[in-house]
Amino acid sequence: MDSFVFSYPTRVYFGEGSAEKAFKAELGQMGRKVMLAYGGGSVKRNGVYGQIKTWLSDAGKTVVDFPGIMPNPTYAKAQEGARLARAEHVDFILAVGGGSVIDCCKVISAQAMLDEDIYEMEYGARRFPAQGIPMGAVVTASGTGAEMNAGAVITHEEKRWKGAIFGTAASFAVLDPSYTLSLPMKQVISGAFDTLSHCMETYLGTPREPNLSDEMNEAVMRSVIAHIRTLLRDPQNLEARSELMWASAMAENGLLKLGKTTDFQAHQIEHQLGAYTDCNHGQGLAVIHPALYRHICPDAPKQFARLAREVWHVDGETDEAAALAGVDALARFIREIGLPTTLGEMGITDERTLRAVADTCNLTAGCCRQLTRDEVFEILKECR
């Protein structure tokens, strides 16, 4: 296991009814003016917005609404939010939504306190923001784990790029599984697959000698797989929703990454696919993973075989055979839970788009082997 320093900035209020507890404890630290940021309106329809607005108003806060944060939030939207936060002298930002709303707010928070463009600062000068307007997150769609880290995933439309911008981590997060009851099942499943992807991409990082982070990771993966199946049989099952919500946070709160170097190559490809097609994140991952893993599993057969045995409960006569059996089991699971298995099913058919994605996605050091751009293109063509 590599050396590490671990500390955590986010207080988590977990469970049904936890929002009220959270607001009672946190309202005093929110200042006078609160930006209430949300997406396209789901939080108004399911009553979460109304409840929060009442708590804020009863506590004497002035509320500045910032609606309309879209799935795959854009850089322009984050800039619009930062301008509003500055103009209104907002003391606190409350993100109410899924990963997209939370990510957009992380950047709003940091950009509002900067006199320079945050993208240019991070990717040009390689400097990162040291402060931001404090923020909190109320999670209404789980999967990304965005509420427990400072990294935002943003689409910069002008640059045809989707990737990480580091902003502000939430000082507190509310995870109430009952808030996800109104989420369309398709999104519940694609979110849960995103969690599984985070786990797999972490697990396949280095070092690969047996370690506690990987053993915890195996437990999280088995839990995600089991509870996706439970929810598909019984969509209202709050226990399964709770487990998926906590697994989502666990996969991205750093615990599973302790002592490991991760690589997230599937994510790098999917994000750039998102930049070109605005596709759903979890669905894109579901299509890319099996094809990518067929390419790289011969380079780390032991770890892929362990994944097969411990998580998918399949085996083979050799590690190489077990590794492939595990990738087949993953592909079967994706079909079983109704996620797309081809890019065609997602409406992505243009070969030039695939070439552009391959030519512009971030190539990582490689959890198993560094891919070439041509190989990424091959993988994407196999996904058609």
Interface residue list for ligand NZQ (CB under 6 A):
39-43, 46, 71-72, 97-101, 103, 140-141, 143-146, 149, 151-153, 179-180, 182-183, 187, 191, 194, 252, 267, 281
Choose from Zn ion, ligand NZQ, none: what does 290 bind? Cβ within 5-8 Å by kind. none
Residues 165 and 154: beta-carbon distance below 8 Å: yes
Give the whole-angstrom CA distance, residue 289 versus residue 84. 39
Residue 201 beta carbon to ligand NZQ: minimum distance, rounded to whole angstroms:
9
Contact 171, 134 (CB under 8 A): yes
Q: Which is nearer to ligand NZQ, 227 or 267 (CB)?
A: 267
Nearest alpha-carbon partner for 52 in 77, 72, 31, 26: 26
Compute how many other C-beta atoms are within 10 angstroms of the C-beta atom of residue 66.
23
CB of 34 to ligand NZQ, least distance (A): 18
Would you say 72 or 109 has its CB closer to ligand NZQ?
A: 72
26 near Zn ion, judged by CB under 5 A: no
Residues 160-186 as b or e (16 or more Cβ within 10 Å = b):
ebbbbbbbbbbbbbbbbbbbbeebeee
**Residue number, 142 or 223, with CB nearest to Zn ion:** 142
| 370 contact choice in ligand NZQ, Zn ion, none (CB below 5 to 8 Å, kind-dependent) | none
Q: Which of the ranges 65-73, 187-195, 289-297, 373-381 carries the binding residues for Zn ion, by CB under 5 A?
A: 187-195
Q: Which is nearer to ligand NZQ, 213 or 248 (CB)?
A: 248
Is 263 a binding residue for Zn ion by CB under 5 A? The answer is no
Only one of the segments 75-83, 190-198, 200-208, 297-305 lies at the binding site for Zn ion (rule: CB under 5 A); that segment is 190-198
Name the closest residue to Zn ion (Cβ): 194
Q: Copy the structure tokens of residue 344.
A: 């065609």
Instruction: Tell me if 194 contacts Zn ion by CB under 5 A.
Output: yes
- How far apart are alpha carbons 242 and 357 in whole angstroms? 35
Which one, 26 or 194, has the nearer CB to Zn ion?
194
DSSP secondary-structure letter at 4? -
Pull the structure tokens for residue 186.
């398709």
CB of 152 to ligand NZQ, least distance (A): 6
Q: How far apart are CA 17 and CA 178, in angstroms?
A: 8
Contact 104, 37 (CB under 8 A): yes
Q: Which does 301 bind (CB under 5 to 8 A by kind): ligand NZQ, Zn ion, none?
A: none
Residue 149 contact, options ligand NZQ, Zn ion, none, Cβ 5-8 Å cut-off depending on partner type: ligand NZQ
User: Cβ-count burial of 78 within 10 angstroms (0-12 exposed, 13-18 middle, 19+ buried)?
Assistant: buried
Is 268 exposed, middle or buried, given 0-12, 13-18 or 19+ CB atoms closer than 10 A? Answer: buried
Q: Minimum distance from CB of 270 to ligand NZQ (Å)?
A: 8
Rounded least distance, CB 9 to Zn ion, Å: 21
The entry of Zn ion, ligand NZQ, none that residue 257 binds, CB within 5 to 8 Å by partner kind: none
Q: Which is nearer to ligand NZQ, 143 or 301 (CB)?
A: 143
Token pair recorded at residue 198: 């985070």
- For Zn ion, the binding residues (CB under 5 A) are 194
